[in-house]
Amino acid sequence: MKKTALSGLTALTALFLSIVASAQIGSPYIHDPSTVVECDGKYYTFGTGSGGLISEDGWNWHSGGVRPGGGVAPDAIKIGDRYLVVYSTGNGSGLRYSSHVYAMWNKTLDPESPDFEYSEPMDLGGSNGYEDCDGIDPGLMMGPDGRLWLVYGTYFGYLRIRELDPKTAQPISEPVDVALSCEAGEMTYNDGWYYLLATHGTCCSGVNSTYEIIVGRSKSPTGPYVDNVGRDMIHGGGKLVLASEPRRIGAGHFGRFIVGKGIEKMSFHFEGDLDRSGRSVLAIRPLMWKDGWPVAGEPFENGEYSLVSERRGYALELAVNNVPMAGGMRGFNRNGDDNVVALEDQKLEDVIGTWPEGEISLRIGPELFRPHQAWEITEVPELGGFIGGAYCKITIAGTGRALAATAGKEIVTVPEFTGAPEQLWRIDRLTDGTYRIMPKSVPGTDEELVLVSVADSTPSLGVFNPDSDNSKWNLLKH
């Protein structure tokens, strides 16, 4: 009985850890989420049906968003000091594929705000029920030139794009067919290209869904959108961005959230989360760009890593004596008759006795895969998170010795992790695939500072510069 209870507790703990290690926490249950939008320091997403999710930090989500109109698959965008929310619903004709997109403005998304009031819904057009289009799943994009675009449609025919007046949201162009056999469209612009992200596959079957996010790109907002092998999306083309990941099935309804230059996230849903009864859940992952194409980053994985500077390629290490390994130069001869044996890695117990007991400072040195360079990075979701991830503790593997920010805007290791804010680290995958490593707070300052290489051998804290390799790190799995 006791053993059973213990096993149950262990299983529950394992389940909790598996959930929190790679998914939003709280109650992130939603289907067809709109692009995550920030409003007055909170994050919002709306889903099919009514209402939506709110998060204070982008990590812990709960219900509470308010969106009237019902219908399916909304989207939201901030334009100036207002928010435009679109959704779609049948237009009352009784035909299954007769659907229209509706738009509403609001000064805020916070239902507690005195300014919270949606405008009357405006009909943006859609489908008549007979044509090869189903006027649902709207997506909005503000182009780099200030032009506002709407995309809508499903597998029932074509995805269509039309221009809206950014002041009123009224349509100002006729719809153009741009893609076939996909749905949940979303447009975005990056570095000279317009991108159309959509989904192929079947939704709404939980863990048996086959939803997958695909993309094509064009030099014009009205297409043609072509994939990486030259196939037009109107010919069924599309480069895969994300289908599923371990334990989570059926990615769909892409949204792009730009944290800042060089730091982007993609919001979407998984149709079925195996760790949450197969329910549809909100997911937020790093969004990277490679060779002009969007790439979905994986969720952070706890483990033992080297923290390697992008500046020099050296590794963050304790400033301690380098203890030589046993053995040495075996000579220059090429005698193949010698016995060849595998030597063991240097172990923590071989060296830890040579380390000071209190705080130990840090430096950056050539990567040798030694214990003073081995960092255990572990999410501590119970201590909070940020958009797309939980804060981490960074400790020397096999010890409690933790990386911490200091009041002098430097870094140090302390003998034991205490959970103090300066010992919690936000790790963001950057759009180029490297990482930004930032303490939750730095004692004595409100400045947002990140781990930087101020010299080849010297780490410190400094202002993040997305254009400088001094601000970027790589995580090399041990």
Partner 1 sequence: MKRSFRILLLLALMAVTAVQVQAQKKNSKIDVAEALKGYFKPVTTPSATPDAEGFIRRWMILEPISKPNPTNRVFTDSYTRENLSVEYFPDQLTVLPKDGDKVKVTMEYQPPVNLSSNRPAARPQQDQPKFVKATLTWHALDSDHFFVKLFRFATGLDKDRYGVIFWTVTVINCEEDIENVRLAVGSNKAARWWVNGEEVLLLAGDRHMGVDSAVSDRVTLKKGKNILRGVTMNGPGMSEFCARFIDDTGKPVTGYTITCN
Handedness of CA 58, 424, 308, 453 (dihedral sign): positive
**Of 110 and 183, which has the nearer Cβ to partner 1?**
183
Q: How far is the CB of 18 from partner 1 (least distance, A)?
A: 26
Q: Summarize the chain as % helix, strand, coil (round to 5).
A: 10, 45, 45
Q: How far is the CB of 81 from partner 1 (least distance, A)?
A: 40
**Of 243 and 442, which has the nearer Cβ to partner 1?**
243
**Of 158 and 391, which has the nearer Cβ to partner 1?**
158
Residue-wise burial string across 111-121, b where 16 or more C-beta atoms lie within 10 A, e elsewhere: eeeeeeeeeeb
Q: How far is the CB of 199 from partner 1 (least distance, A)?
A: 10
Q: How far is the CB of 181 from partner 1 (least distance, A)?
A: 4
**Of 176 and 454, which has the nearer Cβ to partner 1?**
176
Distance, in Å, from the CA atom of 195 to the CA atom of 8, rounded to the nearest integer, reads 47
Q: How far is the CB of 96 from partner 1 (least distance, A)?
A: 6
**Of 36 and 133, which has the nearer Cβ to partner 1?**
133
Q: How far is the CB of 132 from partner 1 (least distance, A)?
A: 8
Tokens of 159: 């995805």
**Of 79 and 240, which has the nearer Cβ to partner 1?**
240
The CA-atom distances, in angstroms, between 420 and each of 59, 226, 383, 428 are: 19, 49, 9, 20
Q: How far is the CB of 174 from partner 1 (least distance, A)?
A: 18
Distance, in Å, from the CA atom of 249 to the CA atom of 257, rounded to the nearest integer, reads 22
**Of 168 and 208, which has the nearer Cβ to partner 1?**
208
Q: How far is the CB of 129 from partner 1 (least distance, A)?
A: 6
**Of 31 and 200, which has the nearer Cβ to partner 1?**
200
**Of 250 and 388, which has the nearer Cβ to partner 1?**
250
Per residue, what are the HEC states of 76-138? Answer: EEEECCEEEEEEEEECCCCCCCCEEEEEEEECCCCCCCCCCCCCCCEEEEECCCCCCCCCCCC
Tokens of 16: 């909790």
Residues that bind partner 1 (CB under 8 A): 94-97, 129-130, 132, 155-157, 180-182, 200-202, 205, 208, 210, 231, 235-238
Tell me which residue of 64, 61, 60, 42 sits closest to 52, measured CA to CA. Answer: 64
Distance, in Å, from the CA atom of 260 to the CA atom of 253, rounded to the nearest integer, reads 22
Centre a 10 Å sphere on the Cβ of residue 222 and count the other Cβ atoms it contains: 17
Centre a 10 Å sphere on the Cβ of residue 123 and count the other Cβ atoms it contains: 12
Q: How far is the CB of 270 from partner 1 (least distance, A)?
A: 16
Q: Is-contact 282 46, C-beta < 8 A?
A: no
Q: How far is the CB of 204 from partner 1 (least distance, A)?
A: 10
Distance, in Å, from the CA atom of 91 to the CA atom of 344, rounded to the nearest integer, reads 71
Parallel/antiparallel/unpaired status of strands 176-180 and 158-164: antiparallel
Count of all residues that appear for the chain in the document: 478
**Of 207 and 319, which has the nearer Cβ to partner 1?**
207
